[in-house]
Amino acid sequence: MVPIAFRTLRNYCVTHREMLFWGALGGGMTATGRASAKPRDSVCSPGRWPLLAQSRALVAYLCAIVTLDLVLIGVLTRSTEFRLADLATFAALTACGAVCIEATRRLGMPAGVSRDLLSAWWLPVAFLLPPVYALLAPVPLQILLQLRVRATVLHRRVFTSAAIGLAAGAASVLFHSWIGDGVGLFRSVGPPGDAVSSGRVGAAGDAGPVAADLSTGGGQAIGVAVVCAVVFTVLNIALIAVAAHAADPEGRWGEVLWDRERFLLDAVELCLGVMVAVLCGLNLALLLLLLPPVVLLQRSLLHAQLQAAARTDPKTGLLNAAAWQREADTEIGRAQRLGSPLALILVDIDHFKKVNDTYGHLVGDQVLIQVAATLRSQLREYDVVGRFGGEEFVVLLPGTDVSEARRVAERLRTRVGRMAVAAEQAMVTVTVSAGVAIMNLHGADLIELLAAADLALYRAKELGRDRICLPATPIAPPPRRPDSTTGGIP
């Protein structure tokens, strides 16, 4: 048997030359061309629906949200008068969303959860049209995403549409209740009695009355629109966060509810949505001027996501080996300058090949995803965790001595042992073995730390797996340099 250390160092050298809440809802949006056919194939086989493999709490929650969305659509459809102008506005805004999707589709989609600016078209629907349109708005665009961009597990796509629809519907009801039918988003200043200043110009030339002047009613309406857009964003995040927590009760709420980059993107979507609504409320033809900059912004956002995706493992969302190595080199250099402790943990899933052979590679992928999520949830924000290759994961712990590193490794081992992944006729559980190495005790640089941790991992495997080991022998201290003042005489 070739020692694992040789294989790990080889993988390290090769990669040196060369991505939460949705992961909990069935493995993250990581479908590839071959895997993406699975959701379509299983639609006709209810017994194989991925939804049924989720926890009862999650299934109940998803069904409740989708049912509520459908009930509200049915109730509001019966009480809404569908006007030609409203239908034209809805069709125009939906078409703009479709153009954005098609314009960015050719760039490719990053693995994991990708962000878009489709709220820029959903929010105007909520503000300019009756609430039933807000509930319906996500449906055609989600269908287009499923068919043209990336096919994912069907229950995920349906829940996403329902969550966005409910959030937009709530914002629409709040906006129309607050403003009333007599106040619109914008009123241009013009001669008394003309179509614009009297508020008769809007969607398809007749979006309804636009009351008050820009400094009074118009300004008030814009302020209310901003508040309602915030309500839409917060409610949408909350609905998804509850689903993620139902799927992983031990996960941290903060990871789903708060993220600086997500906050900035939500703010951009909010501003765009209100701007599109204001100008579209003035004249629907202005969509022709709004569409190009929104498409350009969407493409820029997607390009940034693709750059970030180049640093992450597409299956687990963790750093890939090359990106992890760069981060680790930086942390080790900092620790050497400051003289602070640092630890490295190499984690390997025990008998992972047996899981693949027994339950199939799709279940094996779910195991990898769940192990990665468990590791990430048990580590600090500044710890560096990545997928090293295959079933191996690597963790760098800045500011951590040997006793703390052992405690962290043992906590990771225990947490992974408690998790279970649903297969067709069983719940799959796995264990992990881990090797721990400490800087300046077992190695002075990254290569030495990896080699020491890998030998410790090999020892843990030899001793029976499902355990934590340190290298048997610390490295010898570097030779002491002769004192120049004594000429080398001790």
DSSP secondary structure of 6-29: HHHHHHHHHHHH----SGGGTS-S
In terms of pLDDT, which residue wins out, 223 or 392? 392
Please tell me what DSSP assigns to residue 185: S
Kindly report, residue by residue over 89-139, the tens digit of the pLDDT.
Answer: 999 999 999 988 887 776 555 444 456 788 889 899 999 999 999 999 999
* Same-domain status, 236 and 127: yes
In terms of pLDDT, which residue wins out, 19 or 366? 366
SS3 for 165?
A: helix
Q: Give the residue from 309, 337, 369 where a domain finishes.
A: 309
Q: What is the CA radius of gyration of the chain?
A: 28
Q: How confident is the model at residue 401 (pLDDT cuts 50, 70, 90)?
A: very high
* Same-domain status, 242 and 288: yes
* Same-domain status, 323 and 174: no
Q: How confident is the model at residue 369 (pLDDT cuts 50, 70, 90)?
A: very high
Q: What is the pLDDT of residue 315?
A: 87
Kindly report, residue by residue over 18-69, the tens digit of the pLDDT.
Answer: 333 444 444 333 233 333 334 444 444 544 556 666 677 888 899 999 999 9
Q: Does position 145 have pLDDT exceeding 60, yes or no? A: yes
Q: Does position 3 have pLDDT exceeding 50, yes or no? A: no
295 part of a folded domain: yes
* Same-domain status, 117 and 245: yes
User: Which structural domain range is residue 216 located in?
Assistant: 23-309
Domain count, the chain: 2
Are 11 and 349 in contact by the 8 Å Cβ rule? The answer is no
477 part of a folded domain: no
Which secondary-structure segment (H or E) carries 346?
strand 342-349
* Same-domain status, 268 and 343: no
Cβ neighbours, 10 Å, residue 50:
20
Nearby residues of 135 by Cβ (< 8 Å), 6 or more positions away: 69, 72, 73, 76, 165, 166, 168, 169
Are 228 and 127 in contact by the 8 Å Cβ rule? The answer is yes
264 part of a folded domain: yes
Are 201 and 282 in contact by the 8 Å Cβ rule? The answer is yes
Give whole-number Cα distances, 345 to 11, 21, 439, 455, in Å: 16, 25, 11, 11
Please tell me what DSSP assigns to residue 51: G
482 part of a folded domain: no
